[in-house]
Amino acid sequence: MPAAPLPARLGRLLLLGALAAGLVSCRASDVALDAPTATTAPAETTTTTTTAPAATGVAGDPGVGDPYFPELGNGGYDVARYHIDLEWLPDEGAIDAVTTIELTPTVDLDTFNLDLVGLDVSSVTVDGEPSPITRAGRELAIDPDAVLIAGEATEVVVTYRGVPQPISLGSDVFGAGWQTDGREAYVVSEPAGAATWYPANDHPTDKALFTFELTVPADQVAVANGVLVDERTEPDGRRTWIWRAADPMATYLASIVVGDLVIERTTAPTGLPLRDAYPPEHAAGAQELFGRTGEMVATFEEWFGPYPFEVYGHVVVDEALGFALENQTLSLFGTDLLGAGGAGERTVAHELAHQWYGNAVSPASWRDIWLNEGFATYAEWIWLQEAYGQPIERSAERAHAGADYGVAPGDPGNEELFQPTVYIRGGLALHALSVAMGDEAFRALLREWPQRFHDQAASTEDLRALAEELSGQDLAPVFDAWVHGTELPPFPG
């Protein structure tokens, strides 16, 4: 079927003025019926017109004030949906795109910003009316004709084109954003690369629904988050792939991959649809690497509660990446993890666990990234216990003995978010919590965290409050030592 149009938007009804008619009042004089008729001036009629003052608004903040990256995101509105209509032009290394954004102001807005790095913007409309823009760094400032009224849905359409370039921010592992390898293109956006390929409120505290309408050469396949809802051939022979993510998603998790790919569909024992995409020459390696995903889903549902989204799977790019990334419902892998044995299998478990911890529940700030990586590391230890009989305590003990990790995982710094302490000490902090809380309360914490904060962003303070609620204990010593302290504590026993 053809791509479904975006839902109808609510029009903004601006108060342009109010006309108030004055009352006309005539009272007849007391005159005797047989008195002569008097000639009098007509009664005076007065009409008063009152014009309401024009609505005034404020400028939306150009950032959400993240303690590590204050310029990320924007203030004054919440995004409900992105529709990214994008053409990939591999011969130019360019994209030609229109992104439609449904947002609702949280205050009356005179101007507001979107994050967009580079790329040439040809037009911006707000509720169908052209709007002037200014550019400064990653800020696309928009000045609509009329004030946007708090609580009234607004449609913003940005038309743009260019050669997207990844940016270096918070990582020495990869440049964040749009990546290309010949005719292949893919996205690695953590923490701030979404703005390299679409205009966004680029911070995990503003999640939204996504639709991707991706037009690519006829010999390529385009995959993205969510479910494939339509595929069509264009008059010029190119193919358009339409994917829709039914659950709110942080901007950095939005992902597309374009290349020579095949899509394989299976089903987990729980009934969850699984779909993997990979280059055909890597089919055997991909099938081996992802072969136990269904078992992992079943295991993690026992520990963490129901899988939080409608589908899951992986995509392999034809390149050795040196990392994997937990893009929502579609984790990204490179060819270097094919044939990697146990290390590859643990990585598959790690990225799957992120769907509960990091995706369903996003970090409230990038300083809280240990919440993503610590839980996913602990999930690796769960899988080793359930699949191979290695107790969680043994995995944690080995990790503790591996290195010093003398950086607080709760404050790793903004220049290297992905250093080992975030992962290993993050996992060890959870093991220390399990010892302090007891097994029953800790197992309740693992399930309650992704349920209570589903589709939200949460902080380290939120985790401590929930752990104390469930255990009835003061857990400040555990958090002070394992999350906020720089010195690695002794192994908890």
402 in a domain, yes or no? yes
* Residue-level pLDDT at 174: 74
* Residue-level pLDDT at 172: 64
- Which of 301, 333, 355 terminates a domain? The answer is 355
5, 10, 11, 12: CA torsion to nearest 10: -140
E strands along 131-272, which residues? Answer: 133-136, 139-142, 154-162, 177-181, 184-188, 208-216, 221-224, 227-233, 239-249, 256-259, 262-267
Query: Whole-number mean pLDDT of the chain?
Result: 90
Query: How sure is the predictor about 404, in pLDDT bands with cuts at 50, 70 and 90?
Result: confident
Q: What is the per-residue pLDDT across 141-150, written as a single tens digit (0 to 9) for each?
A: 999 999 999 9
Q: What is the per-residue pLDDT across 16-28, written as a single tens digit (0 to 9) for each?
A: 233 233 333 333 3
- Inter-residue contact 244 to 206 (CB < 8 Å): no
Using CA atoms, how far residue 338 sits from 233, 317, 335, in Å, is 32, 11, 5
29 in a domain, yes or no? no
The residues with which 18 forms a beta bridge, in sequence order, are: 50
* Residue-level pLDDT at 39: 38
* Residue-level pLDDT at 493: 76
> Using CA atoms, how far apart are residues 416 and 119, in angstroms rounded to an integer?
27
458 in a domain, yes or no? yes
Q: Are residues 136 and 282 in the same domain?
A: no
* Residue-level pLDDT at 170: 72
* Residue-level pLDDT at 54: 58
Q: Are residues 265 and 254 in the same domain?
A: no
Structural domain total, the chain: 3
413 in a domain, yes or no? yes
DSSP code at position 226: S
CA 90 to chain centre: 26
Q: Mean pLDDT, to the nearest integer, of 183-208?
A: 97
The domain that contains 313 carries what CATH number? 1.10.390.10
416 or 448: which carries more pLDDT confidence?
448
Q: Are residues 319 and 374 in the same domain?
A: no
**Does residue 1 surpass a pLDDT of 50?**
no
Domain that holds residue 121: 57-258
Tell me the chain's radius of gyration from C-alpha atoms: 28
Q: Which is nearest to 320 in space by CA: 339, 333, 303, 301?
A: 333
20 in a domain, yes or no? no
- Other Cβ atoms closer than 10 A to 10: 14
Q: Mean pLDDT, to the nearest integer, of 212-234?
A: 98
- Other Cβ atoms closer than 10 A to 176: 24
**Does residue 234 surpass a pLDDT of 70?**
yes
106 in a domain, yes or no? yes
Query: How sure is the predictor about 45, in pLDDT bands with cuts at 50, 70 and 90?
Result: very low
Considering only 37-41, 91-95, 260-264, 430-434, which range has the smallest mean pLDDT?
37-41
Helices 460-471 and 369-388: crossing angle in degrees, nearest 10, is 50
Q: Percent of the chain beyond pLDDT 70?
A: 88
Q: Are residues 315 and 373 in the same domain?
A: no
CB-based burial, 95-110: b 16+ in 10 Å, e otherwise:
bbbbbbbbbbbebbbb
Alpha helices in 273-341 (DSSP H): 283-289, 293-304
> Using CA atoms, how far apart are residues 462 and 458, in angstroms rounded to an integer?
6
The residues with which 56 forms a beta bridge, in sequence order, are: none
406 in a domain, yes or no? yes
Q: Are residues 232 and 350 in the same domain?
A: no
Q: Which amino acid makes up residue 403?
A: A
Q: Are residues 323 and 393 in the same domain?
A: no
Q: What is the per-residue pLDDT across 170-195, written as a single tens digit (0 to 9) for each?
A: 766 678 999 998 899 999 999 999 99
Q: Which amino acid makes up residue 380?
A: E
DSSP string, 448-464: HHHHHTTTEEE-HHHHH
> Using CA atoms, how far apart are residues 2 and 137, in angstroms rounded to an integer?
38
- Rounded to 5 degrees, φ, ψ at 232 are -145, 160
Considering only 7-16, 79-88, 251-260, 385-394, which range has the smallest mean pLDDT?
7-16
CA angle 238, 7, 265 (to 5 degrees): 50
Q: Are residues 242 and 265 in the same domain?
A: no
Q: Are residues 200 and 301 in the same domain?
A: no
* Residue-level pLDDT at 33: 29
> Using CA atoms, how far apart are residues 263 and 223, in angstroms rounded to an integer?
9
Considering only 163-172, 306-315, 451-460, which range has the smallest mean pLDDT?
163-172
- Which of 197, 230, 258 terminates a domain? The answer is 258
Considering only 23-27, 111-115, 130-134, 269-273, which range has the smallest mean pLDDT?
23-27
pTM of the predicted model as reported, rounded to 2 decimal places: 0.88
Q: Per this entry, what is the length of the chain?
A: 493
> Using CA atoms, how far apart are residues 35 and 365, in angstroms rounded to an integer?
89
> Using CA atoms, how far apart are residues 457 and 479, in angstroms rounded to an integer?
19
**Does residue 38 surpass a pLDDT of 50?**
no
Q: Are residues 134 and 232 in the same domain?
A: yes
Largest distance between two CA atoms of the chain: 119
DSSP code at position 409: T
The domain that contains 149 carries what CATH number? 2.60.40.1730
* Residue-level pLDDT at 57: 93
**Does residue 403 surpass a pLDDT of 90?**
no
Using CA atoms, how far residue 291 sits from 124, 284, 334, 349, in Å, is 46, 10, 16, 11
25 in a domain, yes or no? no
End-to-end CA distance of the chain: 59
Q: Are residues 419 and 335 in the same domain?
A: no
Q: Percent of the chain beyond pLDDT 90?
A: 85
Q: Are residues 65 and 163 in the same domain?
A: yes
Alpha helices in 81-218 (DSSP H): none
**Does residue 75 surpass a pLDDT of 70?**
yes
- Which of 334, 355, 376 terminates a domain? The answer is 355
Query: How sure is the predictor about 53, in pLDDT bands with cuts at 50, 70 and 90?
Result: low
Q: Mean pLDDT, to the nearest integer, of 457-476?
A: 98
Q: Are residues 279 and 350 in the same domain?
A: yes
